[in-house]
Amino acid sequence: MAPPNFAAVRAAAIDERANNIFYRQTQLEQLQKALLGEASPIQEAIVADSGITAAEAKVEFSLALEALRERYAELDTKTDLENEFRIAHNKNAPDAKVGAGIVVIEPTTHTLFFSVISPVSAALAAGNCLIVRVSVT
């Protein structure tokens, strides 16, 4: 049986809202803002859940933010818009790239936070809608 919010994710994939580069940039910006706004509680949760030190949690948090920043930096608005409108201008677009649609991410339990944020940022930057499946034990 599909999760209850799967219909919303499927609808987003069908209408291809994640293909728009400005939407992808906004999603990555909002993710970064949310993470930075809750940095201390997130790091405390990492320590509590994984048993690592506060310094190690800070490193994991920082690496996750760095992965997010790198994916954002890879987005090239000018080139993406030129590629998007090639067909409208009667030009072929053999190298056009679109997201896979819906991506399911199942992170590892080791460095769980990083294992969620890194692929989430990559999937968002690539124009995908996504579902994160985390096993609770």
Q: What are the sequence ranges of the domains in the chain?
A: 6-132
> Between residues 54 and 7, which one has the greater pLDDT?
54
Q: Please list, in sequence order, all residues whose beta carbon lies within 8 angstroms of the beta carbon of residue 49, skipping any fewer than 6 positions away.
A: 112
71 close to 98: Cβ distance less than 8 angstroms: no
* Fold topology of 6-132: Aldehyde Dehydrogenase; Chain A, domain 1 (3.40.605)
Q: Is 46 helix (H, G, I), strand (E, B) or coil?
A: helix
* Residue pLDDT, tens place only, 80-116: 777 777 777 777 766 666 667 888 889 888 899 999 9
Q: Please list, in sequence order, all residues whose beta carbon lies within 8 angstroms of the beta carbon of residue 24, skipping any fewer than 6 positions away.
A: 18, 75, 124, 125, 127
Mean pLDDT of all residues in 23-40: 95
Q: What is the pLDDT of residue 11?
A: 80
With 60 as the cut, is the pLDDT of residue 1 above it? Answer: no
Strand partners, 56: none
> Between residues 60 and 80, which one has the greater pLDDT?
60
With 80 as the cut, is the pLDDT of residue 52 above it? Answer: yes
